[in-house]
């Protein structure tokens, strides 16, 4: 494959995400000649960020922090796929195979946390991509960020599908004492077929739940987001019940849920995936997803079903069950799913 030279001199500094986008626009991802290909076949491009904490609007939190862009977990429903387009990359294979690593993130974060104007508001960590995807084992940007946040007495809500989070239980405990910390392990379903099909690069759901048990046992407010529940794959009553029961059996302190929503590049990717792998299901998805979300009726029905299951398995009575505000790390996170 031919490669294109970078359009700027890297010198000793990593390029910014804007420079990466310009380079890819001119020459495709092949132009990222400094991106390192690793054993997982993904390519990792180090970048410099100008800011670490990103201000967001219209969410239940005002600040986000994401050490990586792109995610090798490669979930087909991932809402963050559409963000990769900002870097002139596609929301399909490139989302899961070209990962941007914010090499200077911790240094920038420390400066921001030290500003007198910083009000120590809640920071949502891992909203765009998974902070515990495998490359974190090498860079440890998430761990160092948590250490900085603990020193800066800034509370976090952290979302992940990575059992590697247990490696950091010590710093999560420090942060819990210093400011507050909630870990939301994403386990949409314990159904093995749905897991293999929809979340090809993730750890087994039970491995994720064992991580929740360990964190909760260490005194950390750790629970589960059944998010997203995917119509036709994980939305049946029996699968929902098995999942809620297994979550309860693993000592989760709370459970929240969210039905899949599809927007922009994520929608295009998901529909192409269904058309290719499950063509018989395509017309149904097209009918259900005429808008970003499926119809209210479905969502309410399954929301009610999950509520009943939470009560049946005692998840609503747990001492540290999170309040709705804490569960709502994604927009409309209390939406749950529907029977298909």
List Cβ neighbours of 70 (8 Å cut-off, separation of 6 or more): 84, 89, 94, 95, 96, 97, 98, 99, 100, 129
Nearest residue (CB) to ligand SF4, 206 versus 308: 206
91 binds ligand SF4 (CB under 6 A): no
Give me the helices (H) in the chain, please: 17-27, 93-97, 105-114, 136-139, 141-151, 169-178, 192-198, 205-217, 237-249, 264-277, 282-288, 296-312, 324-327
Cβ neighbour number for residue 17 with a 10 Å cutoff: 18
Stretch that binds ligand SF4, among 40-48, 69-77, 167-175, 312-320 (CB under 6 A): 69-77
163 binds ligand SF4 (CB under 6 A): no
Asked whether the beta carbons of 220 and 157 are under 8 A apart, the reply is: no
**Beta strand 63-65 with 123-125: parallel, antiparallel or unpaired?**
parallel
Nearest residue (CB) to ligand SF4, 6 versus 187: 187
Closest approach of ligand SF4 to the CB of residue 239, in Å: 18
Task: State both tokens at 151.
Answer: 């020193």
Q: Which of 75, 187, 220, 288 binds ligand SF4 (CB under 6 A)?
A: 75
Closest approach of ligand SF4 to the CB of residue 129, in Å: 4
71 binds ligand SF4 (CB under 6 A): yes
224 binds ligand SF4 (CB under 6 A): no
Nearest residue (CB) to ligand SF4, 4 versus 204: 204
**SS3 for 16?**
strand
Nearest residue (CB) to ligand SF4, 23 versus 233: 233
Stretch that binds ligand SF4, among 32-40, 71-79, 99-107, 204-212 (CB under 6 A): 71-79
In DSSP terms, 226 is beta-bridged to: 257
The residues of the shown chain that bind ligand SF4, judged by CB under 6 A, are 71, 73-75, 78, 80, 129-130, 161, 202
């Amino acid at each position: 494959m031919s490669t294109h030279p970078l359009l700027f001199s890297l010198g000793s500094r990593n390029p910014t995400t804007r420079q990466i986008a310009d380079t890819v626009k001119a020459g495709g991802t092949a132009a990222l000649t400094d991106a390192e290909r690793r054993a997982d076949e993904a390519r990792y491009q180090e970048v410099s960020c100008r800011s670490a904490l990103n201000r967001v609007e219209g969410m239940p939190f005002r600040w986000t922090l994401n050490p990586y862009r792109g995610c090798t977990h490669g979930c087909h429903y991932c809402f963050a796929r559409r963000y990769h387009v900002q870097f002139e990359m596609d929301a399909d294979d490139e989302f899961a195979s070209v990962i941007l690593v914010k090499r200077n993130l911790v240094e920038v974060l420390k400066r921001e946390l030290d500003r007198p104007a910083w009000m120590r508001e809640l920071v949502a960590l891992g909203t765009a991509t998974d902070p515990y995807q495998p490359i974190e084992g090498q860079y440890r940007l998430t761990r160092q960020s948590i250490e900085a946040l603990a020193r800066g007495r800034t509370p976090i809500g952290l979302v992940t599908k990575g059992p590697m989070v247990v490696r950091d239980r010590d710093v999560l405990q420090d942060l819990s004492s210093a400011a507050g910390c909630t870990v939301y392990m994403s386990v949409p379903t314990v159904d093995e077929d749905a897991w293999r099909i929809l979340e090809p690069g993730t750890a087994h759901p039970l491995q994720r739940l064992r991580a929740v048990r360990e964190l909760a046992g260490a005194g950390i407010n750790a629970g589960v987001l059944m998010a997203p529940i995917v119509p036709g794959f994980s939305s049946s009553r029996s699968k929902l019940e098995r999942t809620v029961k297994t979550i309860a059996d693993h000592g989760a302190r709370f459970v929240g849920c969210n039905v899949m929503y599809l927007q922009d590049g994520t929608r295009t990717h998901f529909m192409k995936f269904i058309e290719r792998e499950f063509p018989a299901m395509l017309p149904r998805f097209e009918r259900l997803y005429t808008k970003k979300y499926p119809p209210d009726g479905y969502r309410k029905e399954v929301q009610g079903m999950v509520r009943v299951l939470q009560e049946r398995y005692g998840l609503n009575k747990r001492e540290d069950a999170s309040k709705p505000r804490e569960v709502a790390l994604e927009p409309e996170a209390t939406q749950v799913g529907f029977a298909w």
